[in-house]
Structure 1
Amino acid sequence: MLLAGGPAFAEEAYAADGQEEILVTATRQGEVRLQDVPMSISVIDTEAMERSGEDGLQSLAHRAASIMIQEDTPGINRIDMRGLVTAGVAGDSADISVRSMVGVYLDESSIAQFGGNPDLRVFDLERIEVLKGPQGTQFGAGAMSGTIRYITQKPDTNRFFGSAEGTLSTTRHGGTNYSVRGMTNIPIIADTLAFRGAIYKGEDSGFIDSIGMYNGVVAKNINETRNFQLRGAVRWYVTPDLVTDFSWTHARLEADGRNKGYSGLKPYQTSILVPEGSSSDFDLFNNTTRWDVGPVTLSSSTSFLKRKFTYTDSQESYPANYTGVLLPATFDSINKTETWTQEFRLSSSAPGPLQYNFGVYYEKLTRDFWEDIWAQDISELLVDAGYRSAGYSALYDGGFYKDSFFSATQAINESQIAIYGEVTYSPVESLDLTAGVRYFDWHQKFDLYFGAFTGVLEAGTPSVKNDSTSESGFNPRFRVSYKANDDLLFFAEASKGFRFGGVNQPVPPDLCASGMAQEGITETPSDFGADSLWSYSVGNKASFAGGRATANFTAFYIKWSDVQTKRLIPVCWYSFAENAGEVVSKGLEFDGSTRLFDGFNLSANASYTNAKSKGSIVNLTANSGDPAPFFPKWIVGAGVDYTTPLGAGSLLFEANWQVRSGFWNVFNHELSSARKTPSQDFLSASINYSLGNFEIGLFGTNLSGGTKYILRDLSYREAFYPGDSYNFYARPRTIGARVKASF
């Protein structure tokens, strides 16, 4: 099928009557034709991504407009939509109270995590839906600016089939990459019970070199990554009207370094004294049951998510600010998360003027975060610098190791219950009036321990905090849609998005006394509140030429209030969160496609986003009218696919090209730290020959070499690094081959 944001096999694009048949479940009321859904949605064809060698999270941003993904390294990332962003990706994600603004779902399960969304491989998926704008009524607080939904392929109870696929490629500035994947579907009881399993294993070469380790010898390709993913699913039709799905997804990611280089060095070079890297173990268990009961459908989704994420960052410059000596130092962290969720929904399923969807959602989350900054011989150096007395060891200050510079544990325990509902009334067949609301009641307990030199309240006294916070409220949504005819739909919507607040980390008064005095404060706030936004949008869904072409437009205006911002305390490098400032985002989005003739399809998408501060925002050093950082004003993409018979088989050519305008790393471009990432483009292409159950092809990603990096200035604690900024590099040009066999 021909999908917005990416081409696909032409023979699957249209039904016999010529109408496009892209089905989505964004309304959570069963499958609905995309052109009948009154909201801005991009649907990404995952098979086209696989054929083009794009199978990671970062690739999603190359296939849809209005979305930006910043990536430090696979597994450390930040997703933003519609310009609602104030800062760059946080490599350590150490402030565990900060929330994501974009929801990420695997089927019915929320998997989003601020600064560290799981980088699941794109394989054995039916599609990916990108819902733009707040989705709080249906998807909760994590969907403040939008939602990404991975929709997996489900077991088929009627036939046995499977596939095996392998790829081999090479990356410029790097080395050889490979991946193997397989899938099998096994009916156990015809029409009743089936199993589907899928497995993925891959390795991507590094492309960053380090000149700092191993006594000045250049270490090549230090950011190699390895992925392993396994999924098993069982579908059971208990009765023809009662179906239950069980699934388990496991993902293991290992990254040997970061995608980071320095402006003072050659391209794709960094300078670190100790190895960096990260690992992620992800397990998700889910049971979703749906029961069709006459005019209504009852559904239940139970999920358990367990994730362990470890991270090591070269941190030599942080202690150097106190000792004046650059020495091997590491930031190590272990982040463990467990989440239980239960959701019940009641939806109308019979035709009529009144349609509804009601639900109850419960979540229980625990998160334990351990971190330690270790620096070689730091205890002795602090004595030499006059900070501590002779014979000092970091253990005296409650550090985890003798030469800890900062040690900490943080733990949060959260629970929330939400009740939501949407009702659509159609006074006439062509007019739909929708109203929805979500009530939430959320509670958090927060426990913290800070020790070692930069964590203590005063020498010998670690910092301990036990606190709690809570939020409750209502978030409404209103929409009206008018269907002029079967091919033309207009809609207008007003909806509220929200994000929970949290508890602030304590600030050591001894270490930060002079910095607090500069800021004119004597104490820092214990917690910070929720921020929220109102989004207003109007748009259309239009089809032409009997469904052979589509053109969908959406215009939006967003007012983001009480923005959660960080206030930096000079000298000691600590910060705390507070609600301060307002951002307004205005823009226009387009998705379209056309089938010029049999076998030849074009698709296009574009967004114009103008997000600016409204009034000054001191914590962000923003003047009124400054543009939001890390988000392009223009994103324009185009795709083409062409299928033609060749011998006994068929040849498929696909290409996808996207251009992004340049963007800055801070609001205020007059600051000395301001850096601009130039405009970029990303081109992927593939050519595949299919002969029965066998497929062979060539592919290339970042063929133009136009996507290179996101610039970020060096902060005060990194003044010892070469150059005046560091870059998060994208994977350079990669070219490879693939083979696939189906049975």
Structure 2
Amino acid sequence: MDIRRTIIAAAVLAAFSGQVWAQQPSPDEIEVVKVTAQKRQEDPAKVAMSISAITGTQLQAEQVRDITDLTRVVPNISFTAASGNGGAGPGTSNVEIRGISSTAGAATVGIYLGDTPVTVGNVYTMGNIEPRFFDIDRVEVLRGPQATLYGASSMGGTIKFVPNEPDLKEREFTTYTEGSNTKGGSANYAANVVANFPLIADELALRIGVQAQHTGGYIDQVDGAGNVIANNINQISDQELRASLKWRPTRALTVTPSVYYQRIDARDIAAFNLELPAYQAQKQVREPSVDKLLAPSVTVNWDLGAVDLTSATSYFQRKFDRTQNGSAYNSYSLSTFLTSTDDGGKAPPALIEAIAGLPSAVYLNNQVRQVSQEFRLASRPYDEKVSPWTWLVGTYFSRQHTNIIENDPIFGVTETFQQFGFDIADPDLLPDARPGQFPNDNSFAGAFHYREKQGSLFGELNYYFTPTVHATVGARYLKANTTLEQRNGNYLAGAGNNSGAETTSKAFTPKYALTWEVDPSNTVYTSVAKGFRLGGANIYVPPTTCGPDLEANGITAGPPSYSPDSLWSYEVGSKSRFLNNRLTVNADVFYVKWKNIQQGVYLPTCAYTYNANAGDATTKGFEFDIKAKPLPGLTLSASGGYVKAELSNDVGIDNGVVGAVAGARIQGVPNYNAAVNATYNFSAWERPAFVMGGVQWVGSSKGSLDPSQTDHDRPAYHTANFSAGMTFGAYAFTLFVKNAFDTDTIIQHPQVASIVQGYRLAPRSLGVSLATKF
């Protein structure tokens, strides 16, 4: 399917439209996007926390396609690769807010798809779930600990993807088609169709949509001689389906069942070898992945008169199958164990060289399943004539199972030994070798099963001293049980491992806030909140393969477990609207004390990771968000954030975390990010038209605590996007350019075994889009 065919298909759909959507001139006032940050819909200017709310229309207009794009336009959000993954594949990145960055243990940022929590732990084989921005009403980014209402995995904050709901009144049919081409790469295209059907007027409605996208690649695979084997290997295709039903049998009761499904197929990761010509990857084994998410849910809202009852029942299942190129460490590690004839052993140098050059794969089959249930009761919104109190109480239960199956074949290893006249099980040739340790050439086999059970009670209480001044006290009591059962075998597992571990955690996470509405247009607030993460057991690290790496960290074995960590956050902010809401200014400052910080320790030679506690840390900084409409049709915005995130003691060194000294910057945290955007809506030849431009800056960061690692110093970079469009009769047509100045800064460059990889922004792409609505 090429771009021309995609655009023609959309044009055919648009030809049957009655009323066509187009970008219309905005009203004089700045749009107020209501949020559900506190589990009820309200004006964000009245909420005592730092919030960014971006509408689906704004995401589309500013070419925000995924979470990594979101981190460049929202203050103090960042992303980094899960340890050892190269930072280059979908589903392998971790998201951080306000410098609360960790690739170990539980997540530091909660991810919600509507009322469905889809947060997964930071295991070494995968990162955050990344819902596509499809049929989204808005994305809410809540900065600061959200433990009171969202639980233990929201230390840094929470990101909520809020989908569009079925409309009980209006029938609607929309299409969107887009095509573009990447400089030096292949084509990109996307198409979606969304329909809303009121089945029974004012009582029952169905909303259903489908989407298909393809992102072209720009990295070529080459062989050892530099010959191109395959072009544009880092292509990604994805498909989404969203369906929801809204049933309102009475004015007081609404039931909303929904289901979301997405499948993301990546042909390879977006990493290239820095030692080779630009954007080339020399690898013996390709690294594809398939990431599937299924998330059904049922939400019930019942107006009981004095209170509102909400029940949110949800389930999600993630299946993430991926292949990593293990040639640089599995084959090489095995070759180092052979007893060389030069040292009095039996292995000739030619055999050692042949083993080191064999291709090897790491096959990872990941599955996460979670069922959760939340009940909550909420009082009516504040009414000074009724009561000075408002409140919300609830309970939450969840059960999450994570299964990881790993197999690491070294292709042709048995035959290679035989070609040199040796038995692979000869212990005089390969120390500690035994028969059956390379079944079907498999050098390592592992099975890991995590189980996590959580139960909690939570609530918030507001007291209004006056209609303009109120205090908030909230708390959550959480109890959790986590287990890890693991089995490891074959030669690179050493003596093998078959073990289990269990931990039980309890936490009390309070929150205090004071809000003063100075006048209807100006609010100031202050808050203090606690965040918490569970501890857990570590995956077994085989000493046979990883011995040198462990010794370099000052230990002889991987630690069996890691401890919980927690933090306290202090924040002061203001939210103001001026000139009849033609100018809004939101700003805040924060200070966070983080205790017993969990961090992932990556072992570069054997490519294993274990979790450890790296002492204490502090993060401090500020955020601002300014929007203005100085002239009719012109909208200007500027946002940004600064954060200084550093370790505050040397405790991590004692736990084998190299570089974990006081003053070391926490990994993966840019010291600033900022974005400016301008949109001008006007009329040309009596047709609605617009032009838009935006620039984003991201500061420097540290990819590792260890100064000797290649990814220790990550540079600052910037990017820019522009677009323009006009309505022609039945069609809303847009031209756009993303990464307009073709920024090619190497923003991450981790070392995987002996290979230094590079990761950059996607090169400049030029494209067109066509949208309809009727």
Looking at structure 2, the residues matched to 713 and 33 of structure 1 have their Cα atoms a distance apart, in angstroms, of 43
Q: Quick check: 1:378–1:405 contact (8 Å CA) kept in 2?
A: no
- Partner of residue 450, structure 1: 488
Task: Out of 174-183 and 521-530, give the one that drifted further.
Answer: 521-530
Looking at structure 2, the residues matched to 169 and 243 of structure 1 have their Cα atoms a distance apart, in angstroms, of 42
- Partner of residue 242, structure 1: 253
Q: Residue 210 of structure 1 aligns to a residue in which SS?
A: strand
Looking at structure 2, the residues matched to 175 and 398 of structure 1 have their Cα atoms a distance apart, in angstroms, of 46
- Partner of residue 584, structure 2: 550
> Quick one: which of 72, 95, 106 aligns to 2:88?
72
Q: Quick check: 2:221–2:282 contact (8 Å CA) kept in 1?
A: yes
Task: Out of 646-655 and 518-527, give the one that drifted further.
Answer: 518-527
> Quick one: which of 427, 449, 453 aligns to 1:411?
449
Q: Quick check: 1:13–1:21 contact (8 Å CA) kept in 2?
A: no
Q: Residue 454 of structure 1 aligns to a residue in which SS?
A: helix
Task: Out of 691-700 and 569-578, give the one that drifted further.
Answer: 569-578
For residue 161 of structure 1, what is the amino acid of its counterpart? E
Change (3 A) 1:275 1:153: same
Aligned-residue Cα RMSD (Å) equals 2.7
> Quick one: which of 402, 416, 423 aligns to 1:367?
402
Q: Once the two structures are superposed, what CA deviation does each residue of 1:59-106 show, in whole Å capped at 9, x if it has no partner?
A: 21122110112342222211111122256xxxxxxxxx8221111111
For residue 172 of structure 1, what is the amino acid of its counterpart? K
> Quick one: which of 7, 25, 40 aligns to 2:36?
25
Change (3 A) 1:673 1:177: closer
How far did residue 400 of structure 1 move?
7.9
Q: Quick check: 2:26–2:633 contact (8 Å CA) kept in 1?
A: no
> Quick one: which of 515, 533, 536 aligns to 2:567?
533
Unpaired stretches in structure 2, ≥5 consecutive residues: 1-21, 81-86, 336-352
- Partner of residue 4, structure 2: none
For residue 726 of structure 2, what is the amino acid of its counterpart? Y
Looking at structure 1, the residues matched to 178 and 30 of structure 2 have their Cα atoms a distance apart, in angstroms, of 34
> Quick one: which of 638, 645, 649 aligns to 2:676?
638
Change (3 A) 1:568 1:693: closer
- Partner of residue 738, structure 2: 701
> Quick one: which of 77, 83, 104 aligns to 2:99?
83
For residue 65 of structure 2, what is the amino acid of its counterpart? D
How far did residue 335 of structure 1 move?
0.4
- Partner of residue 627, structure 1: 665
How far did residue 571 of structure 1 move?
7.9
Change (3 A) 1:19 1:700: closer
Task: Out of 399-408 and 100-109, give the one that drifted further.
Answer: 399-408
Change (3 A) 1:157 1:228: same
- Partner of residue 92, structure 1: none
Change (3 A) 1:677 1:507: closer
For residue 666 of structure 1, what is the amino acid of its counterpart? S
Change (3 A) 1:642 1:452: same
- Summarize the alignment of residues 124-523 of structure 1 with structure 2, pairs less than 5 Å apart: 124-212=135-223, 216-319=227-330, 320-323=332-335, 325-350=356-381, 351=383, 352-379=387-414, 388-389=425-426, 401-457=439-495, 462-508=496-542
Q: Once the two structures are superposed, what CA deviation does each residue of 1:167-218 show, in whole Å capped at 9, x if it has no partner?
A: 1100012111111101110000000000001110011111111113899434
Q: Quick check: 1:399–1:407 contact (8 Å CA) kept in 2?
A: no
How far did residue 524 of structure 1 move?
5.2
- Partner of residue 769, structure 2: 738
Number of residue pairs the alignment of both structures matches: 712
Change (3 A) 1:521 1:600: closer
Change (3 A) 1:191 1:568: closer
Looking at structure 1, the residues matched to 271 and 550 of structure 2 have their Cα atoms a distance apart, in angstroms, of 32
For residue 271 of structure 2, what is the amino acid of its counterpart? K
Unpaired stretches in structure 1, ≥5 consecutive residues: 1-7, 88-96
How far did residue 267 of structure 1 move?
2.0
Looking at structure 1, the residues matched to 550 and 276 of structure 2 have their Cα atoms a distance apart, in angstroms, of 36
Q: Quick check: 2:473–2:512 contact (8 Å CA) kept in 1?
A: yes
Change (3 A) 1:454 1:47: same
Q: Quick check: 1:518–1:570 contact (8 Å CA) kept in 2?
A: no
Does residue 713 of structure 2 align to residue 676 of structure 1?
A: yes
Q: Residue 440 of structure 2 aligns to a residue in which SS?
A: coil
For residue 276 of structure 2, what is the amino acid of its counterpart? L
Q: Quick check: 2:739–2:765 contact (8 Å CA) kept in 1?
A: yes
> Quick one: which of 107, 110, 114 aligns to 2:117?
110
Task: Out of 502-511 and 201-210, give the one that drifted further.
Answer: 502-511
Change (3 A) 1:474 1:630: same
Q: Quick check: 2:668–2:702 contact (8 Å CA) kept in 1?
A: yes
How far did residue 613 of structure 1 move?
1.2
- Partner of residue 599, structure 1: 633
Q: Quick check: 2:309–2:375 contact (8 Å CA) kept in 1?
A: yes
Q: Residue 128 of structure 2 aligns to a residue in which SS?
A: coil
Change (3 A) 1:213 1:139: farther
- Partner of residue 688, structure 1: 725
Q: Quick check: 2:329–2:606 contact (8 Å CA) kept in 1?
A: no
For residue 749 of structure 2, what is the amino acid of its counterpart? R
Looking at structure 2, the residues matched to 182 and 625 of structure 1 have their Cα atoms a distance apart, in angstroms, of 51
For residue 733 of structure 2, what is the amino acid of its counterpart? I
Change (3 A) 1:201 1:37: same
For residue 595 of structure 1, what is the amino acid of its counterpart? K
Looking at structure 2, the residues matched to 530 and 278 of structure 1 have their Cα atoms a distance apart, in angstroms, of 32
Change (3 A) 1:398 1:545: farther
Change (3 A) 1:653 1:66: same
Q: Residue 677 of structure 1 aligns to a residue in which SS?
A: coil
Change (3 A) 1:57 1:573: closer
How far did residue 413 of structure 1 move?
1.9
Q: Quick check: 1:682–1:707 contact (8 Å CA) kept in 2?
A: no
- Partner of residue 666, structure 1: 704
Change (3 A) 1:217 1:566: closer
* TM-score (norm. length: structure 2): 0.87
Task: Out of 580-589 and 657-666, give the one that drifted further.
Answer: 657-666
Q: Quick check: 1:372–1:400 contact (8 Å CA) kept in 2?
A: no
- Partner of residue 54, structure 2: 44
Does residue 45 of structure 2 align to residue 35 of structure 1?
A: yes
How far did residue 603 of structure 1 move?
0.8
Looking at structure 1, the residues matched to 319 and 128 of structure 2 have their Cα atoms a distance apart, in angstroms, of 12
Task: Out of 650-659 and 298-307, give the one that drifted further.
Answer: 650-659
Q: Quick check: 2:425–2:435 contact (8 Å CA) kept in 1?
A: no
How far did residue 550 of structure 1 move?
0.8
Change (3 A) 1:426 1:211: same
- Summarize the alignment of residues 580-619 of structure 1 with structure 2, pairs less than 5 Å apart: 580-616=614-650, 617-618=652-653, 619=657
Change (3 A) 1:482 1:632: same
Looking at structure 1, the residues matched to 576 and 539 of structure 2 have their Cα atoms a distance apart, in angstroms, of 50
Identical aligned pairs, as a percentage? 26
How far did residue 45 of structure 1 move?
2.7
Q: Quick check: 2:329–2:605 contact (8 Å CA) kept in 1?
A: no
Looking at structure 2, the residues matched to 382 and 357 of structure 1 have their Cα atoms a distance apart, in angstroms, of 68
Q: Residue 623 of structure 2 aligns to a residue in which SS?
A: strand
- Summarize the alignment of residues 705-716 of structure 1 with structure 2, pairs less than 5 Å apart: 705-706=742-743, 708-715=745-752
Looking at structure 1, the residues matched to 52 and 687 of structure 2 have their Cα atoms a distance apart, in angstroms, of 31
How far did residue 520 of structure 1 move?
6.4
How far did residue 322 of structure 1 move?
3.2
Q: Residue 45 of structure 2 aligns to a residue in which SS?
A: helix
